[in-house]
Structure formats: structure tokens, C-alpha cells
Amino acid sequence: MIWVVVAILAVALAGAAALAVYAATLRHKVEDVAAELAVLAGHGAQARALVERLELDRLRRH
């Protein structure tokens, strides 16, 4: 009887460990996506600034 309880606890512990590893992997993936979005946002801001500067240059010429 005690072996059944020990086996159930071992399976539950292994499942919890596997879930912790999965959660850590998922967190790293989310962090990677967030970093990529930050880079894209930076490029978007640079592009907007360039367009604004080009528009000002065009307006000054006319």
C-alpha cells in the first residue's frame, strides 16, 4: 500500500518538474518575442522620424 502512495507521489513530482521546465521554456520564448517587438518598434520610430524629416525637407523646397 505504501508503495502505491510513493509511486503516485513520484509521478506527481515528475509531472510537476516537467511542467516547470515547460513553463521556463515558454517564458524564454515570450521574452524572445518581446525583444523582437521592441526592436521592430524602434525601427518603426526611426522610419517615422525619417518620413517626417523628408516631408519637412520637401515642404521647405516648395
> pTM for the whole thing?
0.55
Sign of CA dihedral 22, 24, 26, 32: negative
Phi, psi of 40 (to 5 degrees): -65, -40
State pLDDT tens for residues 16-61: 999 999 998 998 898 998 899 899 888 888 888 888 888 988 888 8
Res 6 pLDDT > 90 = no
Residue-level pLDDT at 58: 86
Spatial CA neighbour of 11 closest among 25, 23, 1, 19: 19
Res 7 pLDDT > 80 = yes
